[in-house]
A and B are shown apart, each in its own frame.
Chain A
Amino acid sequence: MDWGSLNPLSLVATMVVASIPIMFAATGELVAEKSGVLNLGVEGMMITGAVAGFIAALETESQVAAIAAAAAAGSGISLFFGVLTQFLKSNQVATGLALTIFGLGVSALAGQNYTGQAPPQFSPPNFGPLGDIPILGQIVFGYDYLVYMAFLTVLGVWLFLNFSRAGLVLRAIGENHDAAHALGYKVTRVRLLAIMFGGATAGLGGAYLSLIRVPQWTEGMTAGAGWIALAIVVFGSWRPWRVMAGALLFGGVTLLQLNLQAVGLEINAAYLSMAPYAITILVLVAISARRSGKSADTPASLGKPFHSSA
């Protein structure tokens, strides 16, 4: 085995990059779930963002337009879910699954004429002399804009949920929507906004795939990343920093095992391949073992429909 050829700095950098799509999607889903909405349509919203961002990048050559289009498309498609579950009181699980199928279909249709094209390459932010600092320059200041946006989103969500009044209201609605309603809070409106936020970040996660990580549009290219993001929310017990850590761990281990194979580590590739999933399961078991009964972190009203007339 030749460890010398494995550059730890570029490895760390690519591990961070590999976690960005699920970090975006999981953070948005966390907000939705904190408000009491279980949206299983993350995969559908991601792929919609992926195709919308890709099309906008090709048509406008503008990074800002691509990012905005991805967020708007993810948010827009989440409105279907929002209207169906919040106003028409449809079942959240079934509607979320439908959203995933719908997103996969719509994105395939929209992207038909864009397969096989290369997106414009967007230049990463220039930090000037900071980028030249040894070590830090590469692993802190060497990424694309979307990577920094992902970390800022985690920070923003944490601040919002824990240090703002609106965040407190959102959490209250997620814990007990009847009590929150009795206090005069607009349950449906807050949940709709939370769903749209989740859609926007999932869209950004998808766009990161199609614009930077792969970079191409292929039908169904998210290939299950949305489901991983859903698992990461539970893994992180609905806390932003833990969700971020979960995304980094999952993305990192996935990437690490590919690199270890490329280096020629003498471990059966099958074990390396299952490592990210195995580690996720182990951590989940460890977390749930610490508490008796149902996890205290789960928002109490998660997935329950709200009827204001009750």
Chain B
Amino acid sequence: MNFLRKIQLAASIAAAAALSLAAPAQADPLKVGFIYVGPVSDFGWTYEHDQGRLAIESALGDAVETTYVESVPEGADAERVLTQLALAGNELIFATSFGFMDPVINVAQKFPNVKFEHATGYKRADNVSVYSARFYEGRAVIGTIAGHMTKTNIIGYVASYPIPEVVRGINSAYIHAKKVNPDVEFKVVWVYTWFDPAKEADAATALIDQGADIIMQHTDSPAAMSIAEEKGLFAFGQASDMKQFGPNARLSSIIDDWGPYYVERAKAVLDGTWESEDAWHGINEGMVGIGEFSDKIPADVQAEAQAIADAISAGEYHPFTGPINRQDGSPWLAEGETADDGTLLGMNFYVEGLEGEVPN
């Protein structure tokens, strides 16, 4: 893999060099680099980040020039790729996976004039911003739909790693499914991977064998959607719409839309107004999109789900509004109280009613 990426990187640097030689008269465009954890064709997480990159290109045209390096493992190799991107003259670099956090901080120290944007992390510096999306807002919407649509009252959840982002999603979906269907039960399977289609498919099958008729996932590939389609059951698109993988199975989806944020940040660098920030955007800012509702969802359920999305977007409703107890029955949020971002960012507990334990 290293070798391949080196070639890709060398080719993109060479292409960039050739371009700049070819047009010496024009002002230099802003170079924006991207480093991805998966392939751009995963039709999930990385795919949507690359859509964001393309949004920068179409919005700012000749003023920018973008390059990307895909399938970079989280760890030491990321530091090498980030360094190369910085050396290649990129002034703004997006690192789009949690595990790139320390490499970004290290490289940012060596290149104080390069601006870095790190997705889903929490370490900042003067030239390092962090950004993430409030996916749990989307989970509230699809949880509501799932609560209404399940006939067996069992919802299967294919989870990746027990990190706060994933736990938050399970809690949010469960709270809202339970609200509309008191009999609902969640079964969670942890697969300990972001991307392994066979394992994700097997997990979905295991959940269906246990009576789940709706599958939710927090992994990157559309495998679970394919299984739901094959078995004539329902599922939700994750990160990307995934409709083509489950034309009948897909009820709705949570779509990551990074484009508006990426364009805004690239513009800020061009204007000289870029500052280190901590952005956590949701439905309101457009970073979390709710995919079109399937016509298999009854009209009143669609309206209810839409109303929740609208209320969240308008700031009238917070998906974590009390009274909510922790799994052990101890109170977490009092009546009307909403969760603060600090607790949400570190969430490592299930809410009351969920079975099983959060692995640690």
- Which residue from chain B places its CB closest to the CB of A258 in the assembled complex? B206
Kindly specify which of B17-25, B196-204, B266-274 makes contact with the partner chain.
Answer: B196-204
Interface contact B196-A224, CB-CB below 8 Å: yes
Task: Identify A7's interface contact among B39, B188, B189, B209, CB under 8 A.
Answer: B209
Does B97 make an interface contact (CB < 8 A)? no
List, in ascending order, chain A residues with CB within 8 A of B187's CB.
262, 264
List, in ascending order, chain B residues with CB within 8 A of A288's CB.
none
Interface residues on B, range: 35 or more
List, in ascending order, chain B residues with CB within 8 A of A121's CB.
230
Using known A-B contacts A259-B206, A261-B190, determine if residue A108 contacts B41 with beta carbons closer than 8 Å.
yes
List, in ascending order, chain A residues with CB within 8 A of B357's CB.
266, 268
Kindly specify which of A109-117, A148-156, A166-174, A180-188 makes contact with the partner chain.
Answer: A109-117
- Which residue from chain A places its CB closest to the CB of B207 in the assembled complex? A262
C-alpha spacing A266/B188, complex, angstroms: 12
List, in ascending order, chain A residues with CB within 8 A of B199's CB.
223, 254, 258
Does A278 make an interface contact (CB < 8 A)? no
Kindly specify which of B138-146, B167-175, B219-227 makes contact with the partner chain.
Answer: B219-227
Using known A-B contacts A14-B205, A255-B202, A264-B356, determine if residue A105 contacts B4 with beta carbons closer than 8 Å.
yes
List, in ascending order, chain B residues with CB within 8 A of A223's CB.
193, 195-199
Does B98 make an interface contact (CB < 8 A)? no
Does B289 make an interface contact (CB < 8 A)? no
C-alpha spacing A18/B162, complex, angstroms: 24
C-alpha spacing A215/B3, complex, angstroms: 30
Does A292 make an interface contact (CB < 8 A)? no
A130 to chain B, nearest CB (A): 24
B214 to chain A, nearest CB (A): 14
C-alpha spacing A91/B305, complex, angstroms: 60
Does B1 make an interface contact (CB < 8 A)? yes
| Chain A residues with a Cβ closer than 8 Å to the other chain, count | 45
Using known A-B contacts A14-B202, A262-B209, determine if residue A219 contacts B192 with beta carbons closer than 8 Å.
no
Task: Identify A218's interface contact among B3, B188, B221, CB under 8 A.
Answer: B221
Task: Identify B226's interface contact among A98, A108, A214, A269, CB under 8 A.
Answer: A214
Interface contact B209-A116, CB-CB below 8 Å: no
Interface contact A219-B202, CB-CB below 8 Å: no
Does A300 make an interface contact (CB < 8 A)? no
C-alpha spacing A222/B221, complex, angstroms: 12
Does A309 make an interface contact (CB < 8 A)? no
C-alpha spacing A98/B355, complex, angstroms: 46
List, in ascending order, chain B residues with CB within 8 A of A108's CB.
39, 41
A90 to chain B, nearest CB (A): 15
Query: Which residues of chain B (271-293) have a CB below 8 Å from chain A?
Result: none
Does A133 make an interface contact (CB < 8 A)? no
Does A53 make an interface contact (CB < 8 A)? no
Using known A-B contacts A5-B211, A108-B41, A115-B43, determine if residue A213 contacts B189 with beta carbons closer than 8 Å.
no
List, in ascending order, chain A residues with CB within 8 A of B203's CB.
258, 261-262
Interface contact A101-B201, CB-CB below 8 Å: no
Does A179 make an interface contact (CB < 8 A)? no
Does A209 make an interface contact (CB < 8 A)? yes
C-alpha spacing A264/B223, complex, angstroms: 22
Q: Which 3 A-B pairs have the closest CB atoms?
A: A116-B244, A223-B196, A269-B190
Q: CB within 8 Å of A: which residues of B?
A: 1, 3-4, 38-39, 41-43, 71, 156, 162, 187-193, 195-199, 201-203, 205-207, 209-212, 221-223, 226-227, 229-230, 244-245, 355-357, 359-360
What are some 8 contacts across the A-B interface (CB < 8 A)? A14-B206, A105-B4, A115-B41, A216-B226, A221-B197, A258-B206, A261-B188, A270-B190
